[in-house]
């Protein structure tokens, strides 16, 4: 044992040093690589944003294209990159700068003021044509080859094969295609600009060249509504229409966006609101401001593409309970062209706090759908309180309804709104109404409530006139609690019908109670609530999928026998 050779001390230190060195390399090298990749990614993002900011294109980047895509510059197949949501160009990240310089986007106004309204040529871009599109020359399918091929006009959306493209087509005048009656041509805006410089306002003569069927459409989309589909819809509408007609109301308020109507002929404009009932109310308030400014002749008719949670107003007007992309945007525009004009009653809701020495201003709301006090307002109040804390968690329509169900179930056990009949007094057209033991009162202007339930007509053998939204009458019903509301929604029970009236007055004598107007809730102390008729709104009703009940409830008031008598039960 004594004769065995021991290792020198420096050899052990040398081995330990190698171990420490390799350990540091294995730890620091991935960190360095990650840091370097992040730095390069940040530089690319800054470069890309700089191009986006200076460009006339509406560039947006994506991590994955939804269908086979080819770069418009290098013609290579790409999975990710950037696309213009106005003209439809798609490019690889490395070709973005070249594409921005080489290709022109849609021009909202023509540079040459001397061009006539009918002298605009096609604007062709090559490749990435829509699926199932057909050549205007040979009538065969376009875009069927796995490469960058064929052409599409970014205005009329016509497509043509590479081999069918001729000089005559390149110089052919564009008629703006299927949606020419909805598009505001760039040449029209150029002429309007020239007329305003010359202090002329005879827009009707200018519009007469576009035809009697020309009803330009303005898109007002809320990119934050419901399922957050608004951002994608904005791009699809910009591709089919003039980008100047498409607005995001979170960036451009409806009051400013609707001033575009003043550049159009009298009574010609239409508006499509993409959002929930709250967004529709916001737009209708902006329309009322146009009336105050003396712009009645420019007031548009309003259609709805429902993106919210309840969507009771859009359901009443025939636009459905919710849009989730089940029909293409082009079909939505066709539905708008086929829609008919109707009137919608709008009501003034005044809430006056109780007390002689109360110096606070009275609250005033405008009601389109309904007013309520009781369990459904309590559910809305709890929902809104949690959505304000974490709005990103409430982007799903199904999840939102599940949250409503949770709070409704909770109220079935707690019954926070019980004995409502002892806390309130109700007057219909000045006559007091005796109430049974209720937990909630709902005042209806439209036929639907609670996400698609026809509350006034109910079910069974009882005959009640269908609720209308243009007769100047309000329907007043009562509910016995949250469980009763759930029974009504699944058609297992009817509400307690209190009556119809032109004016409703509700006095809250004591306690705090939840109230709501069109889904906007608040907690209210003792007060007096007065609901009176305010004005009418011009809406568009789509009858493509209506039922027999819908036909009756939206028929012409001149064809139905109007009644001003109050119904009480």
pLDDT at 276 over 50: yes
Contact 219, 245 (CB under 8 A): yes
The residues with which 81 forms a beta bridge, in sequence order, are: 62
Alpha-carbon distance of 441 to 232, in angstroms, equals 39
Instruction: State the average pLDDT over residues 347-357.
Output: 82
Instruction: State the average pLDDT over residues 219-224.
Output: 90
Range list of β-strands (E), 455-503:
474-479, 496-501
pLDDT at 549 over 90: no
Alpha-carbon distance of 546 to 543, in angstroms, equals 5
pTM of the entire predicted model: 0.83
Instruction: State the average pLDDT over residues 436-459.
Output: 86
Q: Measuring CA to CA, which residue among 304, 317, 310 is closest to residue 446? A: 317
Give the helix ranges, DSSP H, for 339-461. Answer: 375-389, 397-414, 420-423
More confident residue, 112 or 264: 264
Contact 274, 221 (CB under 8 A): yes
Sheet holding 81-84, edge to edge: 59-62, 81-84, 90-91
Alpha-carbon distance of 87 to 69, in angstroms, equals 15
pLDDT value at residue 380:
80
Q: State the chain's mean pLDDT as an integer.
A: 83
Compute CA distances 522 → 26, 92, 374, 494, 512, whole Å: 59, 50, 11, 27, 10
| Residues whose CB is less than 8 angstroms from the CB of residue 272 and which lie 6 or more positions away in sequence, other chains included | 217, 218, 219, 220, 302, 303, 304, 305, 332, 336
Q: How confident is the model at residue 412 (pLDDT cuts 50, 70, 90)?
A: low
Give the helix ranges, DSSP H, for 209-253. Answer: 230-240
The residues with which 524 forms a beta bridge, in sequence order, are: 513
Q: Measuring CA to CA, which residue among 399, 438, 228 is closest to residue 325? A: 228
Contact 222, 138 (CB under 8 A): no
Alpha-carbon distance of 405 to 444, in angstroms, equals 22
pLDDT at 118 over 60: no
**Which helix (H) or strand (E) segment is 365 a member of?**
strand 363-367
Alpha-carbon distance of 430 to 445, in angstroms, equals 19
More confident residue, 48 or 408: 48
pLDDT value at residue 365:
92
Alpha-carbon distance of 60 to 48, in angstroms, equals 10
pLDDT value at residue 86:
92
pLDDT at 392 over 50: yes
pLDDT value at residue 564:
38
Among the listed ranges 189-193, 367-371, 429-433, which one has the minimum average pLDDT value? 189-193
Ordered DSSP codes for 509-557: -SS-EEEEETTEEEEE-SEEEEEEEEEEEEEEE--TT--HHHHHHTS-G
pLDDT value at residue 33:
84
More confident residue, 203 or 390: 203
Contact 302, 280 (CB under 8 A): yes
Q: How confident is the model at residue 550 (pLDDT cuts 50, 70, 90)?
A: very low
Among the listed ranges 275-284, 300-309, 378-387, which one has the minimum average pLDDT value? 378-387
Alpha-carbon distance of 296 to 298, in angstroms, equals 5
Q: What percent of the chain has pLDDT over 70?
A: 82
Alpha-carbon distance of 465 to 463, in angstroms, equals 7
The residues with which 479 forms a beta bridge, in sequence order, are: 440
Q: What percent of the chain has pLDDT over 90?
A: 42
pLDDT value at residue 35:
80
Q: How confident is the model at residue 565 (pLDDT cuts 50, 70, 90)?
A: very low
Helix (H) and strand (E) counts in the chain: 15, 26
Alpha-carbon distance of 164 to 151, in angstroms, equals 10
Sign of CA dihedral 348, 354, 357, 358: negative
Alpha-carbon distance of 352 to 362, in angstroms, equals 5
Give the helix ranges, DSSP H, for 59-185. Answer: 96-102, 167-170
The residues with which 429 forms a beta bridge, in sequence order, are: none
Q: What share of the chain is helix, strand, coil (3-state, %, to 5)?
A: 35, 25, 40
If DSSP codes are grouped into helix, strand and coil, which group holds residue 476? strand
Beta strand 513-517 pairing with 504-508: unpaired
Alpha-carbon distance of 356 to 340, in angstroms, equals 49
Alpha-carbon distance of 164 to 435, in angstroms, equals 76
């Amino acid at each position: 044992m004594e004769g065995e050779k021991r290792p020198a001390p420096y050899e052990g230190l040398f081995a330990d040093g190698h171990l420490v060195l390799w350990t540091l390399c294995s730890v620091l090298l991935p960190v360095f690589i990650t840091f370097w990749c992040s730095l390069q990614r940040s530089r690319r993002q800054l470069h890309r944003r700089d191009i986006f900011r200076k460009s006339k294109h509406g560039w947006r980047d994506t991590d994955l294209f939804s269908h086979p895509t080819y770069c418009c510059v290098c013609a290579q197949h790409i999975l990710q990159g950037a696309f213009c949501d106005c003209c439809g160009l798609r490019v690889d990240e490395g070709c973005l700068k070249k594409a921005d310089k080489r290709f022109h986007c849609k021009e909202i106004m023509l540079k040459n003021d001397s061009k006539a309204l009918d002298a605009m040529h096609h604007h062709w871009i090559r490749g990435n044509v829509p699926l199932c599109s057909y050549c205007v020359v040979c009538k065969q399918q376009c875009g069927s080859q796995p490469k960058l091929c064929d052409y599409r006009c970014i205005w009329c959306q016509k497509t043509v094969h590479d081999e069918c493209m001729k000089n005559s087509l390149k110089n052919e005048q564009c008629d703006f295609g299927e949606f020419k009656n909805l598009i505001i041509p760039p040449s029209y805006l150029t002429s309007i600009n020239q007329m305003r410089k010359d202090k002329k306002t005879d827009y009707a003569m200018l519009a007469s060249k576009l035809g009697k069927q020309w009803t330009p459409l303005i898109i007002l989309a809320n990119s934050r509504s419901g399922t957050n589909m608004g951002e994608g819809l904005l791009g699809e509408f910009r591709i089919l229409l003039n980008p100047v007609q498409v607005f995001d109301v979170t960036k451009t308020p409806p009051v400013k966006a609707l001033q575009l109507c003043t550049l159009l002929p009298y009574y010609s404009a239409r508006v499509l609101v993409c959002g929930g009932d709250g967004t529709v109310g916001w737009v209708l308030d902006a329309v009322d401001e146009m009336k105050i400014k003396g712009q009645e002749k420019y007031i548009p008719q309003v259609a709805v593409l429902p993106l919210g949670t309840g969507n009771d107003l859009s359901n009443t007007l025939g636009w459905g309970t919710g849009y989730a992309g089940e029909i293409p945007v082009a079909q939505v525009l066709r539905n708008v062209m086929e829609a008919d004009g109707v009137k919608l009653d709008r009501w003034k809701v005044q809430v006056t706090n109780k007390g002689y020495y109360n110096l606070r201003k009275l609250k005033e709301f405008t009601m389109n759908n309904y007013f309520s006090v009781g369990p459904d307002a309590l559910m809305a109040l709890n929902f809104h309180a949690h959505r304000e804390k974490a709005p990103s968690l409430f982007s799903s329509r199904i999840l939102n309804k599940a949250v409503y169900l949770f709070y409704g179930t909770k109220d079935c056990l707690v019954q926070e709104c019980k004995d409502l009949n002892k806390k309130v007094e109700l007057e219909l057209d000045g006559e007091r109404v005796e109430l049974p033991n209720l937990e909630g009162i709902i005042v209806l202007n439209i036929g639907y409530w609670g996400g698609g339930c026809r509350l006034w007509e109910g079910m069974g053998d009882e005959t009640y006139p269908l609720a209308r939204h243009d007769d100047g009458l309000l329907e007043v019903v009562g509910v016995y609690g949250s469980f009763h509301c759930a029974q009504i929604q699944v058609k297992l029970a009817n509400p307690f019908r209190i009556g119809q009236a032109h004016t409703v007055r509700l006095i809250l004598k004591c306690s705090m109670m939840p109230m709501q107007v069109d889904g906007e809730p608040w907690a209210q102390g003792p007060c007096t609530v007065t609901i009176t008729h305010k004005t009418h709104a011009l809406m568009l009703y789509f009858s493509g999928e209506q039922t027999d009940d819908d036909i009756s409830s939206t028929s012409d008031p001149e064809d139905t026998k109007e009644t001003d008598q109050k119904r009480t039960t």
